[in-house]
Amino acid sequence: MTILENQDTQFYQEVQIIQDRENPVAIEGIGSVHHVAFGVENKSDLQRIDKQLQERNFINSGIKDREFFVSLYYRDPNQLLIEIATGEGNLDAKAYENQSPRFEEIPLFLKQYLNFIREQVEQ
């Protein structure tokens, strides 16, 4: 077994890798793992990983702006989807400063369809 870990005291992460050469590659479906996500500090770290993946001929998604964070995706040799994401994004935090924490003040999207659902939730 191989253990990969960071030494972050606030958000310790550990991955235990068990090599299984006897069983067939798992088929993704109900109950399977969709993807595993790992965090990096910033976009520079993500760009470094992108370059390393390219040097090793791993096909990847390229860097994607997800607004709340920036990430890239690739599949390991067993076809497990791996996500590498930053802890920072491109959203302007000031744009969200004045949002109400009160549920009843949140405007509905497609109000004519969601009023019934909101009434049930509020009961």
Domain boundaries, the chain: 33-122
Structure tokens at 83: 């996500």
47: pLDDT confidence band, cut at 50, 70 and 90? Answer: very high
Per-residue pLDDT, 60: 95
**H helix or E strand, kind and range, residue 85:** strand 81-86
pTM for the complete prediction? 0.62
Q: Does domain 33-122 have CATH number 3.90.870.10?
A: no
Is residue 111 scored above 70 in pLDDT? no
Tens of pLDDT, residues 56-85? 999 999 999 888 889 999 998 878 899 999
**Helix/strand/coil for 14:** strand
Interval 110-118 mean pLDDT: 69
Per-residue pLDDT, 80: 86
